């Protein structure tokens, strides 16, 4: 068990809080504030316990000076200023005298948001390479370090792993929720355990398949990635999305686990035609799983005690191509199956199709959850002190 936010006293202490406030911003407007909302419990807990709250977060990627203006945390600061019931300040500097002055002036229960940690990447990738000088500097600004940035826990950066090495530390409420839910569903021994995989790129997910295949009873594969599997079986997939670099992977895994991997038997094309899998023509582009596949998948799914979903069944963002994804979610909801959803677009599809409350857990971390499901450890969490 890792130490958590509840294991420390905060009265008057300077707390460095690493959040994941990496929200989508277009022309200075936040288009989805889920990550801000998810961070509030931890921020408010520290405010209520009279800490001086110093928040670090990254936003997007910073490679050039130009990237800075599109990836400033200033709009996030304005949003938090609106939401939080205390004084909230912003430091445009990620290091230096003006930042230090702002921290000295911070009173108990007040919040300071520091500009994007990746501004420190411009010279020598200091944040992303977990530079020791930068970690030491940031650690010197606080007394306790709380990491609530689950979405970056698969990275070893100065603002997470680096500071953790140097200050008394613990995980925040969001991080605790994410890890507890993932551990619970992966470690319980209930069967049938069904994995549903879809989405666009199989290359991101081969490790997930390899790790889960021995643990689960069946993997149902839809979405764009099914076409690489079908092509590896010499099925004509027309002009559907394919990843030729992974044909060999698919062949190998199908060979080894023939009975465990279930592929579509029909598809819906971009022209809205339903085609049997053996009847796809050259110009057809598969956009969704077909009705017979829905029947096949839901029949297996109904019996499940545990489900992990990573990737939508079709191009759900386009009107008319969310039927497969919707049918899977509906089946889970109706049968009340304990289900974890991982992956950024999968989470978006759940929200879009209105199933937010039907699941055991919808993970907020895309890359981090994929790494976890691949069986890898997450350095941002590993480094936190044990109880
Ligand atoms: P996640 O973010 O949940 O891990 P991915 O990023 O792998 O999922 O894939 C999500 C994307 O896959 C969605 O934008 C969706 O439109 C796309 N997709 C699903 N099915 C297909 C398909 N048949 N052809 C092309 N793209 C697809
Ligand atoms: Mg994605």
> Has 367 been annotated as catalytic?
yes
Ligand nearest to the CA of 288: 1
The predicted-structure confidence for 213-226, as pLDDT tens digits, reads as follows 999 999 999 999 99
Atom in ligand 1 nearest the alpha carbon of residue 199: 9
What is the CATH architecture of 5-174? Answer: 3-Layer(aba) Sandwich (3.40)
Say if 5-174 and 181-373 have the same CATH topology. yes
The H or E element that residue 17 is part of is strand 14-18
Atom in ligand 1 nearest the alpha carbon of residue 267: 23
Region 104-126: mean pLDDT is 97
Q: Where are the domains of the chain?
A: 5-174, 181-373
Residue 259 above 90 pLDDT?
Answer: yes
Give me the helices (H) in the chain, please: 34-48, 65-70, 74-83, 97-105, 132-140, 163-164, 173-187, 206-212, 226-232, 247-256, 291-301, 323-334, 344-353, 366-373, 379-382
243 lines ligand 1 (CB under 6 A): no
**Class of domain 181-373 as given by CATH:** alpha beta
pLDDT for position 204: 85
pLDDT for position 366: 82
**Interatomic CA distance for residues 379 and 156, integer angstroms:** 6
- In 3D space, the residue among 379, 325, 365, 367 whose CA is nearest the CA of residue 181 turns out to be 365
Residue 321 above 90 pLDDT?
Answer: yes
365 lines ligand 1 (CB under 6 A): no
Question: What DSSP character marks residue 203?
Answer: G
> Has 172 been annotated as catalytic?
no
pLDDT for position 368: 93
pLDDT for position 201: 82
Label residue 34 by pLDDT band (50, 70, 90): confident
Question: Tokens 């023509």 correspond to what residue?
Answer: 281
Query: CB atoms < 10 A from the CB of 232, how many?
Result: 20
Of these residues, 2, 35, 155, 218, which one is catalytic?
35
* 344 within 8 A of 228, measured Cβ to Cβ: no
**Interatomic CA distance for residues 364 and 374, integer angstroms:** 17
Start-to-end C-alpha separation, the chain: 6
> Has 199 been annotated as catalytic?
no
Region 29-51: mean pLDDT is 95
Q: Which residues pair with 181 in a beta bridge?
A: none
Tokens for 339, please give them.
């289900």
> Has 318 been annotated as catalytic?
no
Find the 109 Cα to ligand 2 centroid distance in Å: 37
Q: Which of 315, 352, 367 to mutate to test the pocket of ligand 1 (most atoms within 8 A of CB)?
A: 315
* 229 within 8 A of 270, measured Cβ to Cβ: no
């Amino acid at each position: 068990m890792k130490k958590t936010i509840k294991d420390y006293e905060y009265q008057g202490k300077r707390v460095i809080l690493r959040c994941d406030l990496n929200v989508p911003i277009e022309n200075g407007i936040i288009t989805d504030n889920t990550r801000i909302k998810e961070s509030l419990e931890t921020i408010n807990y520290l405010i209520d316990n009279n800490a001086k709250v110093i928040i670090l977060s990254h936003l997007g990627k910073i490679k050039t000076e130009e990237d800075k203006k599109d990836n400033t945390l200033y709009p996030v600061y304005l949003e938090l200023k609106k939401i939080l019931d205390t004084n909230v300040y912003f430091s445009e500097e990620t290091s230096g005298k003006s930042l230090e002055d702002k921290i000295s002036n911070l009173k108990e229960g007040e919040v300071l948001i520091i500009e994007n940690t990746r501004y420190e990447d411009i010279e020598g990738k200091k944040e992303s390479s977990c530079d020791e000088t930068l970690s030491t500097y940031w650690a010197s600004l606080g007394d306790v370090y709380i990491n609530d940035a689950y979405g970056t826990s698969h990275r070893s950066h100065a603002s997470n792993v680096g500071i953790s090495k140097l200050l008394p530390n613990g995980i925040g409420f969001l991080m605790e929720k994410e890890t507890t839910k993932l551990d619970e569903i992966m470690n319980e021994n209930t069967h049938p355990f069904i994995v549903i995989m879809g989405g666009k790129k199989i290359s991101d997910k081969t490790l997930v398949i390899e790790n889960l295949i021995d643990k689960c009873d069946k993997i149902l594969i839809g979405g764009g990635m099914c076409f690489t599997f079908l092509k590896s079986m010499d099925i004509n997939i027309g002009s559907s999305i394919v990843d030729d670099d992974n044909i060999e992977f698919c062949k190998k895994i199908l060979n080894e686990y023939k009975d465990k991997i279930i592929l579509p038997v029909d598809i819906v094309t971009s022209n809205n035609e339903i085609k049997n899998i053996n009847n796809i023509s050259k110009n057809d582009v598969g956009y969704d799983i077909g009705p017979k596949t829905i029947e096949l998948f839901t029949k297996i799914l109904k019996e499940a005690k545990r489900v992990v979903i990573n990737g939508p069944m079709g191009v759900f963002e386009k009107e008319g191509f969310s039927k497969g994804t919707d049918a899977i979610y509906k089946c889970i909801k109706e049968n009340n199956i304990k289900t974890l959803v991982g992956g950024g677009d999968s989470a978006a599809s759940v929200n879009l199709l209105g199933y937010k409350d039907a699941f055991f857990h919808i993970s907020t971390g895309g890359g981090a959850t994929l790494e976890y499901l691949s069986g890898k450890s997450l350095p941002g969490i590993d480094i936190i002190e044990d109880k």
